[in-house]
Amino acid sequence: MSKEKIQFKTNVVIRFAGDSGDGIQLTGTQFTTSTALAGNDLATYPDYPAEIRAPAGTIAGVSGFQLHFGSDEVHTSGDYCDVLVVMNAAALKANLNHLKKGGIIIANEDGFDEKNLRLAKYPDGVNPIQDDSLEEYQVHIVPVTKLTRECLKDSGLGVRDMDRSKNMFVLGLLYYMYNRSMDPTITFLESKFAKKPEVGEANIKAMKAGYSFADTTEIQNGRFEVKAAPMEKGTYRSIMGNQATAFGLIAAGCRANLPVYYATYPITPASDILHELSRHKNFGVVTVQAEDEISAVASAIGASFGGSLAVTASAGPGISLKTEAISLATIYEIPLVVCDIQRAGPSTGLPTKMEQADLMQAIYGRPGEAPLPVVAATSPADCFDAVFEACRIALEFMTPVFFLSDGYLANGAEPWRFPSMADLREIKVGFANEGDTDDGVYLPYKRDERLVRKWALPGTPGLEHRIGGLEKEDVTGNVSYDPENHEKMVKIRQQKVNNIADHIPLQELDSGPEKGELLVVGWGSTYGTIKAALKQLRAEGVDVAHAHLRYLNPFPRNLGELIKNYDQVLVPEINNGQLVRLIRDQFLYPAIPYNKIKGQPFAVAEIKNKVWELLKK
Amino acid sequence: MSKEKIQFKTNVVIRFAGDSGDGIQLTGTQFTTSTALAGNDLATYPDYPAEIRAPAGTIAGVSGFQLHFGSDEVHTSGDYCDVLVVMNAAALKANLNHLKKGGIIIANEDGFDEKNLRLAKYPDGVNPIQDDSLEEYQVHIVPVTKLTRECLKDSGLGVRDMDRSKNMFVLGLLYYMYNRSMDPTITFLESKFAKKPEVGEANIKAMKAGYSFADTTEIQNGRFEVKAAPMEKGTYRSIMGNQATAFGLIAAGCRANLPVYYATYPITPASDILHELSRHKNFGVVTVQAEDEISAVASAIGASFGGSLAVTASAGPGISLKTEAISLATIYEIPLVVCDIQRAGPSTGLPTKMEQADLMQAIYGRPGEAPLPVVAATSPADCFDAVFEACRIALEFMTPVFFLSDGYLANGAEPWRFPSMADLREIKVGFANEGDTDDGVYLPYKRDERLVRKWALPGTPGLEHRIGGLEKEDVTGNVSYDPENHEKMVKIRQQKVNNIADHIPLQELDSGPEKGELLVVGWGSTYGTIKAALKQLRAEGVDVAHAHLRYLNPFPRNLGELIKNYDQVLVPEINNGQLVRLIRDQFLYPAIPYNKIKGQPFAVAEIKNKVWELLKK
Amino acid sequence: MSSTQIPENTSNFTSKDLVSDQDIRWCPGCGDYSILKQVQKVLPELGLKKENIVFVSGIGCSSRFPYYMNTYGMHTIHGRATSIATGLKVSRPELSVWVVTGDGDSLSIGGNHFIHTLRKNPNLNILLFNNEIYGLTKGQFSPTSPEGKVTKSSPMGSVEHPFNPLALALGADATFVARSMDRDPKHLQAMIRRSAGHEGTSLLEIYQNCNVFNDGAFFAYTDRATKTDRALFLEHGRPLLFGEGNKKGIRLVDGCHPQVVDVEKEGLSESDLWIHDEKDSLKAGLLARLPENQGNGEGEFPSAFGVFYAVERYCLEGAVRLQIEKARERMGEGDLDALIRGDHVWEIK
Amino acid sequence: MSSTQIPENTSNFTSKDLVSDQDIRWCPGCGDYSILKQVQKVLPELGLKKENIVFVSGIGCSSRFPYYMNTYGMHTIHGRATSIATGLKVSRPELSVWVVTGDGDSLSIGGNHFIHTLRKNPNLNILLFNNEIYGLTKGQFSPTSPEGKVTKSSPMGSVEHPFNPLALALGADATFVARSMDRDPKHLQAMIRRSAGHEGTSLLEIYQNCNVFNDGAFFAYTDRATKTDRALFLEHGRPLLFGEGNKKGIRLVDGCHPQVVDVEKEGLSESDLWIHDEKDSLKAGLLARLPENQGNGEGEFPSAFGVFYAVERYCLEGAVRLQIEKARERMGEGDLDALIRGDHVWEIK
Ligand SMILES: Cc1ncc(C[n+]2csc(CCOP(=O)(O)OP(=O)(O)O)c2C)c(N)n1
Ligand SMILES: Cc1ncc(C[n+]2csc(CCOP(=O)(O)OP(=O)(O)O)c2C)c(N)n1
Ligand code: SF4
Ligand code: SF4
Ligand SMILES: [Mg+2]
Ligand SMILES: [Mg+2]
């Protein structure tokens, strides 16, 4: 261990790529865990195909996992990678464009046999790891399959099973290169294969073999050290967006003292919230996999009437099916959290890719005047806070609320200095109690000064009342066809949502000057990229401001003023321009759209270039 | 007939009101027909309750029909009425606020008995037609029920059946007052009751009795003459909005040489289009009443793939259920006309009342970036032209198109100088033909210079191809996960819709100066009211401009410039402000919203007042 | 799996207490009035607390029902009442949840939720007001309207083969299927009682007269002249008898081919006839399709009224609760801090 | 009502012509491959023109099917394929329209269209790939997954009682109901042929192995050791026989209670057994639920494969066309000018 030269690095981006069946996602998440435990800041981005398992060896079947970690703050999963690990020819072909010039390639030699080259559609006789096409890179060719089989030959496993461990060989190799401990993975493998200890052992053996292989071969001249990042003091864990969303919902249930009722119909990339929640029934969480999205939202509405923290989730296509029922919830004025884990559309679109193109649907996609609050998360860990806040608003203001996340946040991971239960804000639910009647009559649409009505639960004697989707008379809630009343109620419902602006923080700048040439306004998952870009620009001497919106409706009270402090406002979005329209409409300010619609996050360089372009003008 | 004094009037507004069971709508439409045939310009507005037949005698059960006719151009159904016909106490109570001070009341005395007064919730002992509460009006009290029974006593009919004719008695009375011919109604009754001639005769007898009664009693001092309006030369008929929509669809099918396929699920106020179309199967029109809205739009998409002019319709709640499928149609790029006959929302709202609150849903209510053209009708007869235009755009540009109408247009009537088939523009459909292949391969997403692809119908040899909701490769249409391609396709689909602006007329002013203090921009059914208001203002010396939008997406190319010619722009809408947001966003112009959300059209006076208010500032 | 039991107490209310202060807005003469009355009549007998009763409806004339009941109520959106009710019941098993729906609401737009609710079997009571027409939208054919039905939307007659709602329900694995009618108050009351007593989803189809758009669709079953020949009332363990003086019976030829017989003329004893067995799913299916059989010997087949099928199966809400309990047993009551912390943490000092 | 006939010609293509240029993206080993192959094998035998064939699918692994067929095709949205196909068929009766769908696609989100399509009976061929799991979304339970199934979304086991898809279809008045499996190519081909031949909606349920998320769910029906005891192949007019050497049979006790019998041991003749009759709806229902019966005497009941039910009923598209023709007879070909003009016009000069 002492013989090799260790290079110190502040930042490394590694991209693992291989066939969907190669265990790439597992390799990536294990490396992530060890890296997090080593104290680095990090961000990850899994990039997998829409097919469950497209034919092995083809480009369509390539699965990727990118990890960016550093001894400094890390805000994105990285524009380009320093190290590209490829298990076969298709993985190389599909990912080479993600590698920095001069970067390291670690290639499984056995994945470049004739069959694999053919499947990857290399021309006859061409093998990129044998010709000089990779000259610009540092290429390490490792016969991973062969070596794994070799080290497991006495394990008693068949060849197929042995080959299943080859990702662990690679993981061991990388653990050596980046001086990571194998212990967390050993613990993980032992528990994962508790029932098949021989498989667990084989995996561990393969990992150790990879580690030793790196130690004893030429890979040795590539050993790196990435120091722990100077992060805020505290206890951290690594967390993925959908997991954080699930935790946030459970936490909101605890802090509101309400059971969580989560009803959904599976859809990528939202399903993992269901999977996560269904493992925590001991919190009293009810998870319902309904027959379709309409039934899911409908049953959540039923549960909300019954007094649950009712939640429904989907991606764009499924959300659109729920809009009629959401409209019912707006006129009912009952709490309901609608999670839209956005993906690239329209229609089925690119189902495993991210996009921010459901904002307009969230704000305007309902028949009639049906305003509701919209809250968006900015990073995987922030999904926890943002969905907690969505729950708070829904419960405290008796309204459906949209929570917007996306495929990048959903599957991305980052270190999280998690809160303790005691740190979390209490959610105050306004129940009507027995006796809350006027002259013996319960008035379900009587409001407090915020215009919020009370929640009267079935089972409470004396509060029997009916709610419906027909326009309701002010205060009594009885059906009313009175024209004046209708206008009044439409305005009240709008005003109630507007009033929420008094109960959310004013918009703060994330960084940059309070007045000046340029403000970048973002929302959602572009947070890390914009932050990183502006930080780099600042280091390059350009001080540009950044405001990132959590509240898309209503906007923070000061947003209009804030914007007007700048000569230019740039609104980067992963869509064809949506927030920018809301800003232009509300503040009559010529905000400038900047759009990328490729199913991928912005690259830091893209934001920087755009800023340069605007400043040069 | 000669003894009475005839007063000449330019305009009269009559409102018929009675119990839902009293045949009010029939009375109204009959009077409308006769009036139309007499050459008056006119506009009508039925105002009926949401219940099929709420308890007789109650306010909830009151059904109304308002008719405005004149010897001058008539643009609205009238803010207030000159004559209020009430069949019972509830009808009076519910409608008195619609009557001008000094107006005429014709009241059925028998509808003011104790029971009716109680059901109408008049205090004990109070009878408005006996006390002096109606002093400000000219009240004619007629024992309609009694007189009808009297005149039919030898008819052999039972009392219930006799009473069914009392609306005809009233109709006869009004025919006398306004010097209308009874002939059209006689023809109508004869054909309607061809199978029950005794009922037909009774109705005719009652009508004649009412006519004579007016001739011989004190009603005589209230005889009026409304001269024929100086309308454009031509042949006219009276038409209702939904009927015009149905005719427009059939006409478009004829001019495009395609069968019409209309699939829907019943909903107020759209159902009558289905009813009308289903009577014209001899045009090859297929009408499908599907099991729900989703199936309706889905089957229309299937029919569109097969080469039909495919249409689906609903009101707001049903439209929201269709949005996922509409999103599919946008990525398919196939023709589909979606008719949204708007009603007051949100949710079930006020189902029989009108509203313009689905504009944002039409423009933005889909997941992902799914732009499509939106066209709105401005008057009942204009539904014909507007839906024809929606069909033209859908077919010529291979795109789903929204057609917006509303409950006011749907059920309102006006005289229509109908076109002849030969006047109608031909719709040019771009089919792919056998042999339209490149190197033997059919390229379904190859485009012309407008970015429009071709329509390749199953059954054509050699054009076999697959379409899907996954992102498609440019030109070939194959599934593509390529990031660059996705952005390209999103932009192409947007650009294709934007390009339509080159194929629609520039925005013209409906009236008023080309530059100036104030422009009123409206869309949809507010047309007549705005026009009438500005005309009156002009007569009062204030010249304000009026532009009325048929094309809500894309806007006519010149709209931005046009708007900027005025100091102020007012946007009146029957919603909480929707078009105004689009204008503010696109043109960064501080357009001023003016909103009424009462399930009713604007009154002319309301628009006038608002204009005065703005001009005074 | 034991299902959750609705607490049985003595009721704290009378029929009158169930009348809400809202004016009823059905057409005079509508069959809905009778159904409302029978429900209000039966509910106080069931040992429920008024505050624990919730009526959930969709959209349609029938779906106005909750407004007229002085209980908790939800008038929802078209077709979704069963799903909304399921959410309520699963989250609050102690409530007595009733669904009021129409043939359009439950079988047309709501068909999917209808069949899925039946298979999942939450303890709901579904009252399906079947008037074979869309009432509220003024008279279009519904999925139960007969072939050839002339309506506003089918001026040349409907081209659609209709559902047999009870056969559909049985195909969807319903655990309780019954039929009654608005114009037979006593029978309707009895059926409401049976529905309420069933643990699981009870489907009660109620033939309801829409006197405005489909008047008389079911009069044959109540009109003096025809009723005995056209309506057959089922009783568990009793033979299928009908007709004037119960002189007609139905027997099963080859065990599965129903035949109408004249009991006296053929000198048959009860045991020769088809004995109704509520637990027999096959026979329930046969009953649902009884009038579809070609008439034979002694004339047309009648339509059956009563409980066609009633079996026990665990209720959805019970199974959901049980998993929560088991999870708590296994993992202990949820500990938020522990959950959030997870297994792999590190500290920055 | 005569239904529209698909023109019978000699086919203008071979199986190879049906292979599209798109790479197939199912998991290696997926049962979908076999189904694709059998469809490509059978289609050229049907006397169709290639350009008249359209495959319509929803969303799911199975629903990628149209991309791999070099015919016209629509990959649509989740659950709506039957409705889209109905629209296509009604508007273009001369096309041969095939629906490819999964258990989630057709029975979960698409349940409503599924049952309504069956009752309306357009002449479609529905191939329902039932793998008892949601494949594309990576392994959640589906409405056909058995109770207690452990999946990603049901870590403690599914609490839902599943549908019996064929029983549901029969309850919805389907006119053609059959079952086959991916792993029995010959039988599958035969069933595809029968489906194509049926005029009306043919529902062919195909047991399909998802080797990634639900491997082996149906292996019992094809594995050497078990298949003869677990799978029973139906033939019209033939007795129900199965087991090694067809030694087991099923007989109906009291005409409607199935019993497994050892044919040789009990010395039974064929006519003592249940003779399969495709036209008997009651028996079709009994067959659909065969394995739900308690095992008796000679062991467990097998699952049936083959055509359960096949009857004729007018097709939707035929009825729609007929009304158009009748309307034309009655009123003459539509005259736009006359229509628009109507009956009451006046002239302004
Ligand atoms: C989403 C939606 N689609 C359509 C409608 C219109 N609609 C209201 S009730 C109804 C059908 C009513 O029929 P049924 O359920 O049989 O009830 P009934 O009025 O006959 O009691 C329809 C189509 C609606 N309200 N919402
Ligand atoms: C509206 C909508 N909801 C959910 C989804 C996600 N989704 C895609 S396929 C599928 C289920 C697939 O199961 P199945 O129909 O059995 O097909 P399989 O993949 O098993 O062949 C789901 C839930 C979607 N694409 N669209
Ligand atoms: S329309 Fe029919 S169902 Fe509706 S309230 Fe009137 S009579 Fe009853
Ligand atoms: S996930 Fe299952 S059903 Fe889907 S392609 Fe793979 S093996 Fe086939
Ligand atoms: Mg009905
Ligand atoms: Mg499946």
pLDDT-based confidence at A532, cuts 50/70/90? very high
Asked if A210 and A334 sit in the same domain, the reply is: no
pLDDT above 70 for B234: yes
Give tens-digit pLDDT for A330-363: 999 999 999 999 999 999 999 999 999 999 999 9
- The answer to whether the CB atoms of A468 and B348 lie below 8 A apart is yes
Instruction: Please state the rounded mean pLDDT for residues A258-269.
Output: 98
Instruction: Please state the rounded mean pLDDT for residues B418-435.
Output: 95
Looking at every residue in chain A, the average pLDDT score rounds to: 93
Instruction: Please state the rounded mean pLDDT for residues C70-99.
Output: 98
Q: What is the ipTM of this complex?
A: 0.94
pLDDT above 70 for B20: yes
CA distance B474 to B495: 14
Give tens-digit pLDDT for B23-59: 898 999 899 988 888 888 889 888 877 777 777 889 8
Torsion angles phi and psi, residue B375, rounded to 5: -125, 140
Give me the residue from B49, B327, B369 closest to A597, CB to CB: B369
Contacts of D85 in chain B (CB under 8 A): 302
Asked if B265 and B378 sit in the same domain, the reply is: yes
Give me the residue from A51, A61, A266 closest to D153, CB to CB: A266
Asked if A382 and A276 sit in the same domain, the reply is: yes
- Residue A449 covered by a domain: yes
Distance A472 CA to ligand 5 centre (A): 25
Asked if A309 and A412 sit in the same domain, the reply is: yes
- Residue A230 covered by a domain: no
Q: Whose CA is nearest to atom 5 of ligand 4?
A: D26
Mutate to test the pocket of ligand 4, among D24, D25, D30 (most ligand atoms within 8 A of CB): D30
Instruction: Please state the rounded mean pLDDT for residues B472-479.
Output: 97
Q: What is the pLDDT of residue D9?
A: 54
Q: Is A513 in the pocket of ligand 2 (CB under 6 A)?
A: no
CA distance A266 to A278: 13
Domains and CATH numbers, chain D: 15-221 (3.40.50.970), 224-310 (no CATH)
Q: What is the pLDDT of residue D273?
A: 96
Q: What is the pLDDT of residue B4?
A: 54
Asked if A332 and A453 sit in the same domain, the reply is: no
Task: Mark which residues 228-267 of B lie under 8 Å from C by CB.
Answer: 265-267
Instruction: Please state the rounded mean pLDDT for residues D136-162.
Output: 97
pLDDT above 90 for D125: yes
Q: What is the pLDDT of residue C298?
A: 66
Q: How many domains does chain A have?
A: 4
The atom number, within ligand 4, closest to the CA of D208 reads 3
| Strand segments (E) across chain D | 53-57, 72-75, 96-102, 124-130, 176-181, 202-207, 231-233, 241-242, 248-253, 257-262, 303-310, 345-348
pLDDT above 70 for C5: no
Distance B253 CA to ligand 5 centre (A): 33
Distances (CA, A) of A537 to A542, A562, A603: 5, 21, 14
CATH of the domain at A554: 3.40.50.920
Q: Is D32 in the pocket of ligand 4 (CB under 6 A)?
A: yes
Nearest Cα neighbor of B558 from B535, B586, B533, B518 is B586
Asked if B414 and B283 sit in the same domain, the reply is: yes
pLDDT-based confidence at D297, cuts 50/70/90? low
Percent of chain A scoring above 70 in pLDDT: 98
Q: Whose CA is nearest to atom 13 of ligand 2?
A: D134
CATH of the domain at A167: 3.40.920.10
For A217-356, where are the alpha helices, taking DSSP H only?
A: 241-256, 271-277, 293-306, 316-332
CATH of the domain at A299: 3.40.50.970
Number of Cβ within a 10 Å radius of residue B2: 4
Asked if B290 and B166 sit in the same domain, the reply is: no
Look at phi and psi of residue B199 and say left if phi exceeds 0, alpha if psi is from -120 to 50, else beta.
alpha
- The answer to whether the CB atoms of B282 and D328 lie below 8 A apart is yes
- Residue B506 covered by a domain: no
pLDDT above 60 for A4: no
Q: What is the pLDDT of residue B214?
A: 85
pLDDT above 60 for B165: yes
Give tens-digit pLDDT for B123-135: 998 999 988 889 8
Chain C closest CA to B272's CA: distance in Å? 9
Asked if A154 and A190 sit in the same domain, the reply is: yes
Instruction: Choose the weakest-confidence range: A225-239, B359-373, B388-402, B514-528.
Output: A225-239
Chain C closest CA to D185's CA: distance in Å? 29
pLDDT above 50 for D47: yes
CA distance A84 to A78: 13
pLDDT above 80 for C332: yes
The atom number, within ligand 1, closest to the CA of C103 reads 16
| Strand segments (E) across C212-317 | 231-233, 241-242, 248-253, 257-262, 303-310
pLDDT above 50 for C2: no
When mean pLDDT is compared over A542-546, B146-150, D296-300, the highest value belongs to A542-546
- Residue B507 covered by a domain: no
Q: Does C154 touch chain D (CB under 8 A)?
A: no
Contacts of D91 in chain B (CB under 8 A): 259, 261, 286, 302-303, 306-308, 310
The atom number, within ligand 4, closest to the CA of D29 reads 7
Nearest Cα neighbor of A449 from A389, A501, A392, A499 is A499
For B111-235, where are the alpha helices, taking DSSP H only?
A: 114-119, 144-151, 159-163, 166-177, 183-192, 197-216
Q: Does A274 touch chain D (CB under 8 A)?
A: yes
pLDDT-based confidence at A617, cuts 50/70/90? low
Identify the residue among D36, D140, D144, D208 best suited for mutation to test binding to A, counting A beta carbons within 10 A and taking the highest.
Answer: D140
Task: Mark which residues 309-328 of A lie under 8 Å from B by CB.
Answer: 315-321, 323-324, 327-328
The atom number, within ligand 1, closest to the CA of C32 reads 21
Q: Are A314 and A265 in contact (CB under 8 A)?
A: yes
Question: What ligand has the least distance to the C-alpha of D59?
Answer: 2
Q: What is the pLDDT of residue A220?
A: 54
Q: What is the pLDDT of residue A6?
A: 75
- Residue A445 covered by a domain: yes
CA distance B75 to B379: 9
- The answer to whether the CB atoms of D87 and B259 lie below 8 A apart is no
Instruction: Please state the rounded mean pLDDT for residues A242-258.
Output: 98
Q: What is the pLDDT of residue B6?
A: 75
List Cβ neighbours of B375 (8 Å cut-off, separation of 6 or more).
B386, B387, B389, B390, B393, B401, B402, B403, B404, B550, B551, B552
Q: Is C135 in the pocket of ligand 1 (CB under 6 A)?
A: yes
Q: What is the pLDDT of residue A218?
A: 61
Contacts of A23 in chain D (CB under 8 A): none
Q: What is the pLDDT of residue C3?
A: 42
Contacts of D95 in chain B (CB under 8 A): 306, 458-459
Give tens-digit pLDDT for C149-206: 999 999 999 999 999 999 999 999 999 999 999 999 999 999 999 999 999 999 999 9
Q: What is the pLDDT of residue A221?
A: 60
Instruction: Please state the rounded mean pLDDT for residues C241-259.
Output: 93
- The answer to whether the CB atoms of C94 and A299 lie below 8 A apart is no
Distance C158 CA to ligand 1 centre (A): 18
Q: Using the 3D structure, point to which of B373, B400, B423 is the last residue of a domain.
A: B423
Contacts of A268 in chain D (CB under 8 A): 137-138
Q: Using the 3D structure, point to which of B380, B398, B423 is the last residue of a domain.
A: B423
Q: Which residue range(s) make up the domain with A552?
A: 516-615
Asked if B330 and B414 sit in the same domain, the reply is: yes
Q: Using the 3D structure, point to which of A371, A397, A423 is the last residue of a domain.
A: A423
Distance B268 CA to ligand 1 centre (A): 9
Asked if A417 and A435 sit in the same domain, the reply is: no
Q: What is the pLDDT of residue A223?
A: 79
Instruction: Please state the rounded mean pLDDT for residues A154-172.
Output: 91
Q: Whose CA is nearest to atom 3 of ligand 4?
A: D210
Instruction: Please state the rounded mean pLDDT for residues B96-121.
Output: 92
Percent of chain B scoring above 90 in pLDDT: 78
Side chain identity at residue C278, one-letter code = E
Q: What is the pLDDT of residue D2?
A: 39
pLDDT-based confidence at D1, cuts 50/70/90? very low
- The answer to whether the CB atoms of D283 and C169 lie below 8 A apart is no
- Residue B278 covered by a domain: yes
Give tens-digit pLDDT for B564-606: 999 999 999 999 999 999 999 999 999 999 999 999 999 999 9
Q: What is the pLDDT of residue C63?
A: 98
Number of Cβ within a 10 Å radius of residue C131: 31
- The answer to whether the CB atoms of B350 and A315 lie below 8 A apart is no
Q: Whose CA is nearest to atom 26 of ligand 1?
A: C78
Pair of tokens at residue A492: 């009240």
CA distance D73 to B468: 8
pLDDT-based confidence at A1, cuts 50/70/90? very low
Contacts of D213 in chain A (CB under 8 A): 52
Q: Does D256 touch chain C (CB under 8 A)?
A: yes
List Cβ neighbours of D335 (8 Å cut-off, separation of 6 or more).
none
Distances (CA, A) of C197 to A506, B401, C48, C123, C314: 56, 52, 12, 10, 15
Q: What is the pLDDT of residue A55?
A: 78
Give tens-digit pLDDT for B50-100: 777 777 889 888 999 999 999 888 888 898 999 999 999 999 999 999 999
Q: What is the pLDDT of residue D349?
A: 78
Q: What is the pLDDT of residue A169?
A: 94
pLDDT above 50 for C16: yes
Q: What is the pLDDT of residue A40?
A: 87
Beta carbon pairs, C and D, within 8 Å: 110
Torsion over CA: C154, C160, C166, C168 (sign): negative
Exposed/middle/buried for A300, CB within 10 Å: 0-12, 13-18, 19+? buried
Asked if B469 and B379 sit in the same domain, the reply is: no
Q: What is the CA radius of gyration of chain C?
A: 23
Asked if B34 and B77 sit in the same domain, the reply is: yes
pLDDT above 80 for A413: yes
- Residue A217 covered by a domain: yes
pLDDT-based confidence at B113, cuts 50/70/90? very high
pLDDT above 60 for C119: yes
- Residue B605 covered by a domain: yes
Q: Are A339 and A273 in contact (CB under 8 A)?
A: yes
